[in-house]
Structure 1
Amino acid sequence: AGQTARSRQHHPRRSGSGHGRGLHRRLARRRRVHVHQPPAGPAAPRQGQRPGRAGAAPTGGRGAGGGFMFINLKPATQRTDKGSAVIARLRPQLARVTGIAIFLNPVQDLRMGGRSSNSTYQYTLKSDNVADLRLWATRLADAMKQQQALVEVDTDQQENGIESYVQVDKDSASRLGITSRDIDSALYNAFGQRQVATIYGELNQYRVIMGVAPQFTRSPESLKDIYVPSRLPAGLAPPSAPSAVAAPAAPASTGPVNPGLRDQATGSPVSSSARTMVPLAAIAKFSERPTASSVNHQDAELATTVSFNLAEGSTLADGQAAVRGAEASIGMPINVRGSFQGTARAAQESQQEQPMLILAAIVVIYIVLGILYESLVHPITVLSTLPSAGVGAVLALMLFKLDFSIMALIGLFLLIGIVKKNAILIIDFALDAERSRGLSPVQAVREACLLRFRPILMTTLAAILGALPLVIGFGEGAELRRPLGIAIIGGLVASQLLTLLTTPVVYLLLDKLRRRSPQERELRRQHDQPLPA
């Protein structure tokens, strides 16, 4: 993610060919800003463009009237700034480019679900009411823009569409024997791609779709040519004017022309002759009004996604807390629900699962050690070394200003297996000395610490040297592996310094508690009782 940066921008939708030329001019201005940045190479041109022109083109994707551009950074060995630092420096300069909305995102080699959005992280609102959803999505986005941890907040609501609204005069329709269902059926027959039949062949089957000719779907004026069947007798229905959709030249008949067209109430065939068809314009008025160009759904509910990026120096946990704070500040109603999606949701689920995974690993280790030592107490001595390793790993990550990422969690799991060897080496030797040579616990653990110090030190140094390349490595993916190495080394150093002091203390304390138990006293009494002569 630190090698390549991707920027995507969307422009308000306009009609006409001048919009594309204007977008190219604005993107060319962006490109001039990019190429003057020291860590960035030239903007990569899109396929089909001549070198030297703006490396962007209008797209017909989710945001109509938008374009995108790729900026390739120099190799990591030739620059000192990370991709996030380059993006942070570009944002204030690109904000001066007017007439265009700009979103800068580092290229993610691995994206975990979610929708296509202008920013990296996503928060999705769901509701059963589209008006409430639009209102509260806008309010939430405005509240998120006030959060210092969030930048480039955007929603996928594209309010640049136009819908044709049919307002039916119910009184006129009722006098002509026309119901709302009849009008809905007529409009669906014309524009809804209704499947009316299936043609079965030897190797395939073909669906027969009913609809008006394509030239009548290009303008709302075609609504005036739609005819609706009337239930009145042929002599009482008003005469229909000639139309390109319902051809009056067909011979009139009192019988049904299409037996498949039936009354929804009675099930009887409805006559579709010209003398019983009523123009839709005679019973309805047509108007146009703005609307969303698309309506998204998720889990069978209306959904709107608010995307955001993180400000420089902010972690994903800070961003999630900022989103929750913005949501709480506006007081959303109960019928509008929100949740993180994509990468943010995967990170949230990972954070929720981390404690359970660590607890499961500790339980398995305790069971194995209990079987090994045939004791319920001594495995606790081994597990007492884990807190020092965990604290050392967290302190090392904080020292180098790194997040507790998935790689750091993997390093913590590795530490759970590595740092136990210090206590195991000491306890094995001490138990053997007690059982075979009859030494007291104090003498046995002291001798174990003295004789096992060198093996403990050498194995720790070997593990640290093995993790050192993860910390100082270069090239592709080095930034991903660095938290793993730092967590391992930090945990090993802290464990090495503390376990040689804490392990003997915990061993003697638990041994004293074990000897005080009634079962242990009874075993010692039977062991000390002399054998009969």
Structure 2
Amino acid sequence: IGAVFLMQIAGFTINLLTLLAIVLSVGIVVDDAIVMLENIVRHMEMGENPLEASLNGSKEIGFTILSMTLSLVAVFIPMLFMGGLLGRLFHEFAVTIAVSILVSGFVSLSLTPMLCSRFVRPPDHANQSRLYKASEYFFDRFLGLYDWSLKIFLKYHLTTMLLSGAVFLVTIYLFVIIPKGFIPSEDTGKLTGTTQAAQDISFADLSRHQLEVASLIQQNPNVEAVNASIGASASTTGGGGAQAGNAGNLFIRLKDRGKRQNTADEVVQQLRSKLTAIPGIQVFLQNPPAIPVGTQQTTGLYQVTLQTPDEGLLNKYVPQLVTKLLTLKEIQDVNSDLQLTSQVKVKIDRDRASSLGITATQIENTLRNAYGSYQVSTIYGTSNEYQVILELEPQFQQDPSALLKLYINSSAGLAVPLSAFSQLSQQVTPLTINHFGQMNAVTISFNLSPGISLSQATSVVENAISAIVPETITTSFQGASQVFQDSLPSLGILLLIAILVIYLVLGVLYEDFIHPLTILSGLPSAGFGALLTLLIFNVELNVYSFIGIILLVGIVKKNGIMMVDFAIEAQRNEHKSPRDAIYQACLVRFRPIMMTTMAALMGTLPIALGVGAGSEVRRPLGIAVVGGLVFSQLLTLYVTPVFFIYMEAWRKSLSSRKPRRLTTLSESK
């Protein structure tokens, strides 16, 4: 309710990202209440009445909940200051989930203790149900197993620290080698396509090929309807706004997801293999991205642009680069907006034409009437009107030599052939000349092959460019490829800043710089589990899965806070040694740690399972969180206690050095 109220005030809408934040917060916001309730019930089991247990339990655990809430909110602070597309994308997500956590912390510190004092009664273990007794039996056995294994890890503490260091190094290695992407494709039940034929194809032939393509697509059992058009703008191939008479568009509507067996990406692969058998036309199909990036509408989802002032260099090297890219197995649907066509150049001898009494305007009008499909009149019928088009017959339009057979009336009234004062020359020239940044530019578009990540594709494309294209041609990725390359370093910086902010917040809360390191010691295991799970399920590390890893930073450190906070209190009040204090903290906090982890796990599991429409986009986030929680739960229960003991030994060594330094200074004086 608090999150929705703030969304209303801030002007946010209920969209995919804000709903995702609310869904994720379901498994997170209950953590504070679980910790508070468990501690109050533990005090009741110690013989206190409900009111005393609520007061003492909330007082004992209040600082822990405050630390958990503020440090978790701190994870999302760097997202609020992100710029570019990712900043605009996740601003509402970060605000929504942060407010949910803050409201949860406030309720857990105020309303939950009051409700416990009124409604919770001391448990009567003798009169409980069989289900309760069975669950308690298994929990006690599980706690006994953890007690036994914890003693072993504490005994072999050096081995445990070496294991933790190895996990940290492997995590860095996995982050380097894991395939990386930008935004995963989503099955919206719609596909788009672009067709491209020869530059000199006629309108009738293009129509026939387009209908053949549409008929073949319609035969696919997953397709419900196909809309085909021709004469598309050249922008479909990456050009400007000129009309491309050899191009067409396709809009494909698939059947509902429950009525077809294949996803949108699988349908694209099925159609691609069949459409290549149609001669005379190329078909480029796309599953439209969930978040369109860039202004260019190309035949592929990803583009690379080549720029140079010299048009001849583009005409020379772009075909070579396209030929090389077509041989790469990592990409498909390679195409460029450089379409070379033959051009007939009419060179006029102006002196000769003038002597024959022929002006330049007469020559232009004659060529326009012959090849320009010029409308000269309109015939109006009873119910229809008909345009009268003046042009040569089709057989003469296809023959360049027919140009010399054209006659032009001179000022003397004589019909003079065009060959009397002009010469023809044929040459190759681009169908359209595109510009980017005020320079001649060619855009090459491509799609990813199945199972290939964007990082792998951009790597092989860069290698091909460096091997073929000279340095005088400037190359740059555009659209989603450009945003991906720009966002990849910023995401790593975002993760480091989030960890730093959490460290600072914990340092302020504990007034210490050592205990925050102990609390954060479980982060490498969470990152290792998330990256390993992504690799096992063949899911790339994209924007959503990276946000899941950042979310893990806030969730996993809760375990460390609960253990460290209790151990500090045991040292302070009961004067226990660091080993005994952390050992007792692990056993006492074992139940709330397991409960909060299971709550977060169950809240994220539906996202990881990919339930519902558009689950392909959210699934990487769920997989990263679930994998990180499972693995970190196994390691933090053992690594954090050992790390606590080492940090306390370090603290003791630092404190013993200070008196020596002060003594030395006094003696020198």
- 1:375-426 per-residue CA deviation (whole Å, 9 max, x = no partner) reads 2211111221111111111112122211111110111111111111000111
1:218 — aligned with what? Answer: 368
1:102 — aligned with what? Answer: 283
CA distance in structure 1 between the aligned counterparts of 2:465 and 2:369, rounded to whole angstroms: 41
Q: Which amino acid in the other structure matches residue 547 of structure 2?
A: I
CA distance in structure 2 between the aligned counterparts of 1:404 and 1:30, rounded to whole angstroms: 36
* 1:455 matched to 2:592: yes
List runs of 5+ in structure 1 lacking aligned partners. Answer: 46-54, 173-186, 191-211, 223-242, 249-280, 527-533
In the alignment, is the contact (CA less than 8 A) between 1:121 and 1:343 conserved in 2? yes
CA distance in structure 2 between the aligned counterparts of 1:353 and 1:164, rounded to whole angstroms: 52
- What's the CA shift for 1:353? 1.6
- What's the CA shift for 1:524? 13
- What's the CA shift for 1:85? 1.5
* 1:392 matched to 2:529: yes
Q: 1:155-234 maps to which residues of 2 (within 5 A)?
A: 155-160=336-341, 162=343, 164=345, 218=368
- Structure 2 counterpart of 1:131, from 294, 312, 317: 312
In the alignment, is the contact (CA less than 8 A) between 2:342 and 2:426 conserved in 1? no
In the alignment, is the contact (CA less than 8 A) between 1:162 and 1:293 conserved in 2? no
In the alignment, is the contact (CA less than 8 A) between 1:471 and 1:482 conserved in 2? yes
In the alignment, is the contact (CA less than 8 A) between 1:128 and 1:335 conserved in 2? no
CA distance in structure 1 between the aligned counterparts of 2:261 and 2:658, rounded to whole angstroms: 67
* 1:74 matched to 2:246: no
- What's the CA shift for 1:487? 1.0
Q: Which amino acid in the other structure matches residue 8 of structure 1?
A: T
- 1:263-310 per-residue CA deviation (whole Å, 9 max, x = no partner) reads xxxxxxxxxxxxxxxxxx999977564422322121222211111111
The 1:372/1:99 distance shift into structure 2, 3 A limit, reads: same
1:180 — aligned with what? Answer: none
* TM-score normalized with structure 1 length: 0.72
- What's the CA shift for 1:436? 2.1
- What's the CA shift for 1:64? 2.7
- 1:488-509 per-residue CA deviation (whole Å, 9 max, x = no partner) reads 1111111111100000011111
- 1:317-354 per-residue CA deviation (whole Å, 9 max, x = no partner) reads 12111201222332x21101211111111111121222
1:353 — aligned with what? Answer: 490
The 1:58/1:506 distance shift into structure 2, 3 A limit, reads: same
How many pairs were matched up? 422
CA distance in structure 2 between the aligned counterparts of 1:520 and 1:430, rounded to whole angstroms: 24
* 1:91 matched to 2:272: yes
The 1:99/1:444 distance shift into structure 2, 3 A limit, reads: same
- What's the CA shift for 1:116? 2.1
* 1:6 matched to 2:6: no
1:365 — aligned with what? Answer: 502
In the alignment, is the contact (CA less than 8 A) between 2:300 and 2:446 conserved in 1? yes
CA distance in structure 2 between the aligned counterparts of 1:491 and 1:429, rounded to whole angstroms: 24
Q: Which amino acid in the other structure matches residue 155 of structure 1?
A: S
2:666 — aligned with what? Answer: none
CA distance in structure 2 between the aligned counterparts of 1:396 and 1:215, rounded to whole angstroms: 70
In the alignment, is the contact (CA less than 8 A) between 1:114 and 1:343 conserved in 2? no
2:435 — aligned with what? Answer: 297
1:483 — aligned with what? Answer: 620
The 1:156/1:383 distance shift into structure 2, 3 A limit, reads: same
Where 1:416 maps in the other structure, the secondary structure is helix
Q: What RMSD, in angstroms, separates the aligned Cα atoms of the two structures?
A: 3.3
- Structure 2 counterpart of 1:154, from 314, 335, 339: 335
The 1:166/1:429 distance shift into structure 2, 3 A limit, reads: farther
In the alignment, is the contact (CA less than 8 A) between 2:507 and 2:516 conserved in 1? yes
- What's the CA shift for 1:162? 3.8
Where 2:538 maps in the other structure, the secondary structure is coil
Q: Which amino acid in the other structure matches residue 230 of structure 2?
A: A
Q: Which amino acid in the other structure matches residue 87 of structure 1?
A: V
In the alignment, is the contact (CA less than 8 A) between 1:164 and 1:220 conserved in 2? no
In the alignment, is the contact (CA less than 8 A) between 1:165 and 1:288 conserved in 2? no
- 1:459-495 per-residue CA deviation (whole Å, 9 max, x = no partner) reads 1111111112212353332111111111111111111
CA distance in structure 2 between the aligned counterparts of 1:100 and 1:297, rounded to whole angstroms: 26
* 1:36 matched to 2:219: yes
Greater relative contact order (CA < 8 Å, ≥ 6 in sequence): 2
The 1:505/1:377 distance shift into structure 2, 3 A limit, reads: same
- What's the CA shift for 1:7? 2.0
Which ranges of 4 or more aligned residues in structure 1 deviate by more than 6 Å? 219-222, 281-286, 523-526
Q: Which amino acid in the other structure matches residue 323 of structure 2?
A: D
- Structure 1 counterpart of 2:463, from 325, 335, 347: 325
**Identical-pair percentage:** 33
CA distance in structure 1 between the aligned counterparts of 2:487 and 2:190, rounded to whole angstroms: 26
